[in-house]
Amino acid sequence: MDLLTANDRHGEYPQSWYAATAEAPGPYPEATGGITCDVCIVGGGFTGLSAALHLAERGYDVVLLEAQRVGFGASGRNGGQVGTGQRLDQDELEQMVGRDDARKLWDLALESVQLVRDMVAEHAPDAGFTDGILHAMHRARYVPEDHAYVRKLNEKYDYGLIRAVDRDEMRELCNSPAYHGGSLDLGAGHTHPLRLAFGMARSAATKGVRIFETSRVTDVAEGAPVSISTPAAMITATHLVWACNGYLGNAEGRVASRVMPINNFIVATEPLGEGFAQSLIKGQHAVADSKFVVNYFRLSEDNRMLFGGAESYGYRFPKDIRKLVSKPMLEVYPQLKDVKVDYAWGGTLGITMNRMPHFERLAGNILSASGYSGHGVAMATLGGKMAAEAIAGQAERFDLMASVPTPRFPGGVAMRWPLLVAAMLWYSMRDKL
């Protein structure tokens, strides 16, 4: 089944609150005829747009190919949360890559958040950036461990923007009976992701990037130069960057064996009014909880509850996304039982076995960055910048990310779905214990 059209119409954005509140650039033309460039980028999300911007600023002639519309995929559908750190915590990274490289990965992650702040300020001020993510523990036994981790970040990583939150303060900040304490990270934040993607696309085009939409890659012939085919064009490029994440499909099998698509879903309620909205989340912070299938939520600029949660493990979205996501939303906020849901949408993201991004040099002139595992607003944006650096001859940071192991899924592409379903059922049971 074709992930690009399994749940969406060709060339159309999903009916999300984001799409309803953002003005799309373009539309950009379909690629046709013979095209030559320094760098061809496949994928018009945060990775591809960031790579295009940073390469154009270095003077490269860049072509960006998007099979649908810029910002169409996870970059324009996600919860908008911009978290610090990597997808794995520092304890796990220290065991995986050693303390020195774990510290380098932490520093890259901090830079990725600052990069998003800078991108918003320079390219998409309408996207906004609001400080603060509240990490909410759904089991009391998780709170001491979370507070110990806060102390580690304070003392060992010199990170003073995160602090512990006890049960009473958690209830004050997030008025839900579901949580027992946690932490507040004021170095993290949230933004309107689709407006950010649109702003990046506009700036890239202004800097000379040739953006082509509805231009799906059908074949790649590796070599020097590399040849990229679409239904109506042949692009000849010195370098190629794969920036597809969850919508890659089988276009590049070496990446598909390590990066798997899964679906996630969000609803947006009707406007709640400022008083009611502030009674649910104080201080405009975003919230992410400790469940394996994370509940993540925040208030929109017009005081809607944007609530994300639930996953599905087939290609097609469920028939009733409202019902699917309303269940965990009402478990967290029973106060919303009589509130109307105005929007419900889904999207496909890319995950890896160990939830760390997958960076790879597939050939001397072909790079890939994907598999952000739900942590992509910041890391995908930095991933694009690091790909641009590598093409310009400064590959140390890209190579550091590529050195982080991302194992192949057992059984390859054919077996990854049933194995993931079994694993997710187990974790779903664990969340209930």
Residue 321 tokens read as 């996304």
CA distance 193 to 306: 13
Q: Which of 101, 70, 65, 75 is closest to 86 using CA atoms?
A: 101
pLDDT at 343: 98
pLDDT at 316: 87
Q: Which of 328, 309, 381 is closest to 82 using CA atoms?
A: 381
Are 98 and 162 within 8 A, CB to CB?
A: no
pLDDT at 116: 98
Q: Which of 357, 385, 395 is closest to 111 using CA atoms?
A: 385
CA distance 285 to 79: 13
Per-residue pLDDT of the chain (433 residues; tens, 9 = 90+): 688 889 999 999 999 999 999 999 999 999 999 999 999 999 999 999 999 999 999 999 999 999 999 999 999 999 999 999 999 999 999 999 999 999 999 999 999 999 999 999 999 999 999 999 999 999 999 999 999 999 999 999 999 999 999 999 999 999 999 999 999 999 999 999 999 999 999 999 999 999 999 999 999 999 999 999 999 999 999 999 999 999 998 889 899 989 988 899 999 999 999 999 999 999 999 999 999 889 999 999 999 999 998 876 677 899 999 999 999 999 999 999 999 999 999 999 999 989 999 999 999 999 999 999 999 999 999 999 999 999 999 999 999 999 999 999 876 665 555 666 655 554 455 555 5
pLDDT at 414: 56
CA distance 267 to 321: 8
**393-399 long-range contacts, CB within 8 A, separation 24+:** 397/108, 398/359, 398/361, 398/367, 398/369, 399/361
pLDDT at 9: 92
pLDDT at 292: 83
pLDDT at 412: 60
Residue 426 tokens read as 């187990």
CA distance 67 to 48: 12
Are 159 and 109 within 8 A, CB to CB?
A: no
In this prediction the pTM is: 0.95
CA distance 194 to 202: 12
Cβ neighbours for 247, distance < 8 A, ≥ 6 positions apart = 3, 4, 43, 67, 73, 74, 261, 348
CA distance 231 to 216: 7
Residue 367 tokens read as 């790079």
Question: Would the CA dihedral through 236, 240, 245, 251 be positive or negative?
Answer: positive
Ramachandran quadrant class, 148 (left: phi over 0; alpha: psi -120 to 50; beta: rest): alpha
